[in-house]
Amino acid sequence: MEAIINGRRMHYLERGRGDVLVLVHGFPLDATLWLDQLEALADLRRVVAVDLRGCGGSEAVTGAGLAMELLASDLDHLADHLGAERIDLAGLSMGGYVALAFAELFGHRLRSLALLNTKAIGDDEEAKASRDFLAQTAVGSGRALLGAEMHASLLGPGASITARARLRTMVERTPYETLLACLIGMRDRSDRTHVLGSLAVPTLVVTGAEDSLAPEETAREMAEAIPHGDLVVIPGVGHLTPIEAPEAVSTALRSHLVRVDGVRRGDPPPR
């Protein structure tokens, strides 16, 4: 589906009905990251997987940095378009950065939050240099070399051929301008560690036991800093849990949403 969101054309996938769950992909990916979860959760929610600016079928960008705050504003406008006063929000990796920006700027619209394979801290100088290196690799050497870099860092050693195929498809159809814009936006994003302690909604933190980019220790520290935080560590997988372990991620999200519905009925909040 497509709509004009925040002045630009946004593409998104949608399944189910009822309360809205918005799924936000990471870099350099698109909404098809969530194909399994779209189907698995459609009986619980109106599940909407977005293509962020410049990604998938959404309107192209120029290559100027995409600030996480701008992408969060897009989600705020998307919620308006969907007629949702409040949303359940789940973001992976860069999508988690966007979700935390949304929580800080538009927290009154959150019913719950899920942070998958992500972190709240900003980039240090080493991480910023790595972003710049990836940008030079993408523009100078092309997607083939970038794809090889992505496979090595994003997928666990036991990733299936299906997961590898989906990652390759997403990377190879992402425009170079989008690659550059996302890398700049992630490099320059704000540290949002302070947001964790202020989260007033049920929050799920998920990571893979083999994730080197958002390791278990980081995920555990995040969950412990969140008042109603829950942690799920999925064994044997890396950074892209929704495609490496789709059933485990869908199960974790389903349990999270059932808890959210229990809180709305007046049950004690999870902890």
Task: Supply 24's token pair.
Answer: 């936000």
Residue keyed to tokens 């996480």:
68
Cα 91 to chain centroid, rounded: 3
Distances (CA, A) of 193 to 4, 59, 111, 188: 32, 31, 20, 15
Residue keyed to tokens 């860092």:
153
Task: Supply 115's token pair.
Answer: 């942070």
For the segment 28-36, the average pLDDT, to the nearest whole number, is 97
47: Cα within 13 Å, side-chain hemisphere: 24
Tell how strand 46-50 and strand 20-24 pair up: parallel
**pLDDT, tens digit (0-9, with 9 covering 90-100), for 193-237:** 999 999 999 999 999 999 999 999 999 999 999 998 999 999 999
Can you give the three-state secondary structure of the chain, one letter per residue? CEEEECCEEEEEEEECCCCEEEEECCCCCCHHHHHHHHHHCCCCCEEEEECCCCCCCCCCCCCCCCCHHHHHHHHHHHHHHHCCCCEEEEEECHHHHHHHHHHHHHHHHEEEEEEECCCCCCCCHHHHHHHHHHHHHHHHHCHHHHHHHHHHHHCCCCCCHHHHHHHHHHHHCCCHHHHHHHHHHHHCCCCCHHHHCCCCCCEEEEEECCCCCCCHHHHHHHHHHCCCEEEEEECCCCCCHHHHCHHHHHHHHHHHHHHHHHHHCCCCCCC
**pLDDT, tens digit (0-9, with 9 covering 90-100), for 54-112:** 999 999 999 889 999 999 999 999 999 999 999 999 999 999 999 999 999 999 999 99
Alpha carbon distance 114, 91 (integer Å): 6
Question: Given pLDDT bands bounded at 50, 70 and 90, which one contains residue 266?
Answer: low
Q: What is the chain's mean pLDDT, rounded? A: 94
Predicted pLDDT of residue 265:
62
pLDDT at 271 exceeding the cut of 50: no
Q: E strand or H helix at 252, and its extent?
A: helix 246-264
pLDDT at 264 exceeding the cut of 70: no
Question: Given pLDDT bands bounded at 50, 70 and 90, which one contains residue 270?
Answer: very low
Q: E strand or H helix at 10, and its extent?
A: strand 8-15
Pick the closest to residue 33 from 169, 129, 143, 204 (CA basis).
169
pLDDT at 269 exceeding the cut of 80: no
**pLDDT, tens digit (0-9, with 9 covering 90-100), for 138-182:** 888 887 777 777 788 899 999 999 999 999 999 989 999 999 999
**Amino acid letter, 4:** I
Residue keyed to tokens 């299936």:
160
Q: How many CB atoms lie within 10 A of CB 105?
A: 16
**Amino acid letter, 239:** H
State the first-to-last Cα distance of the chain, in angstroms, to the nearest integer: 37
pLDDT at 253 exceeding the cut of 70: yes
For a pLDDT cut of 70, what percent of the chain falls above it?
A: 97
Q: Which domains does the chain have, with CATH numbers?
A: 2-264 (3.40.50.1820)
